[in-house]
Amino acid sequence: MKKIILILIISFIQNYAQANLSSNLYQDMDLSFNQTFLQLDSNSVQNMTYPKKSVGLAAGLSALLPGAGQFYNEDYWRTAIYIGIEVAAIATIIIYNKKGDEQTEYFESFANENWSAERYADWTLAHINELNPNLDANDYNLYDANGNLVWSELNRLEQAIGSYYSHQLAPFGDQQYYEMIGKYTQFNVGWSDFDGGDYNYGDPVTPLFEYYSIERGEANELYNIARWGSIVVLSNHIISAVEAAFTTNYRNKHVDVNVELKRQTINFRNEYYPEINLRIKI
């Protein structure tokens, strides 16, 4: 339709400027339109149909960028919705991953200052007979000649004790290391506010243990929000692609638009008018 109007206007101006104009504007316009109609390609103007869209292209565009397939289909409000969801989800991922990293850095620093593997190992060895009467402390050398804690020996001791010593301490700095010391009560004795006395399974944990557990849990919650953002991004790509393909296929099968430039002779005078035919198959 835009093509027809633009061609008519340009041709009319050219013919109007070049013709021998009369003093009657209506006659001049009629002459110009007559000349324009003769110059136009009747196949391209008199029978213009609504172009079919590519289903694969629409789906592919939306798979790469949600809303792109909808833009290709000229569904601009759907385009805005899918792009808005994408931007919001990506922003959520970036923001909450950053918050999670900051919280992780905080609770790991807190643990390094307030929990000691050596304190935990010393207390365990000192109370070995209370934890498991069948064990002998002399069978375990927890420190090497330089006074460094031998991690493998500590793990062997933990495994031998059994009972509520259900886990072996992960290597220092590992993600599991920071998770264990604030999750399992066997590690309660390693916190700096533990009084060094007896501790049995089920006894209350220290305030530092409890505080650390909350702070570590908060970091996990922040990362969970970021993961949900990732799920939304993936879902947005899939849904946008499927919807673009479905909409394109539906329009190709159910919507036909035909634009024609009609000519009618009235009182020996040619009259021209555009005609648009819209057919929707339900």
Q: Considering only CA atoms, which of 50, 55, 4 is closest in space to residue 250?
A: 55
Contact 48, 6 (CB under 8 A): no
Q: Is residue 140 part of a domain?
A: yes
Residue 25 included in any domain: no
Residues of the chain with pLDDT under 50: 1-10, 12-21, 25-26, 29, 33, 36-46, 257, 278
pLDDT at 38: 46
Contact 251, 53 (CB under 8 A): yes
Number of helices and strands in the chain (H, E): 11, 3
Question: Among candidates 226, 213, 154, 149, which has minimal Cα distance to 178?
Answer: 213
> What whole-number percentage of the chain has pLDDT above 90?
63
Residue type, 181: I
Report yes or no on 249 lying in a domain: no
Tell me what pLDDT residue 5 has. Answer: 45
- Domain membership flag for residue 189: yes
Residue 262: phi and psi, rounded to 5, are -95, 150
State phi, psi for 142 to the nearest 5 degrees: -80, -10
What is the structure's pLDDT at 275? 56
- Domain, as residue range, for 223: 93-229
Euclidean distance between CA atoms 69 and 81, whole angstroms: 12
The token pair that represents 204 in the structure block: 């209350």
Residue 242 structure tokens: 């499927």
Residue 31: inside a domain: no
Report the pLDDT value the prediction gives residue 271, as an integer from 0 to 100.
60
221-234 pLDDT tens trace: 999 999 999 999 99
Domain count, the chain: 1
Beta bridge partners of 168: none
Where would I find the beta strands (DSSP E) of the chain?
A: 48-49, 255-266, 269-280
Q: Is 212 part of any domain?
A: yes
CA 161 vs CA 43, 67, 182, 189: distances in Å: 92, 60, 20, 15
How far apart, in whole angstroms, are the C-alpha atoms of residue 236 and residue 207? 44
257 falls within a domain: no
Three-class secondary structure of residue 218 per DSSP: helix
Taking the CB of residue 157, how many other CB atoms lie within 10 A of it?
A: 24
User: Is residue 210 assigned to a domain?
Assistant: yes
pLDDT at 30: 53
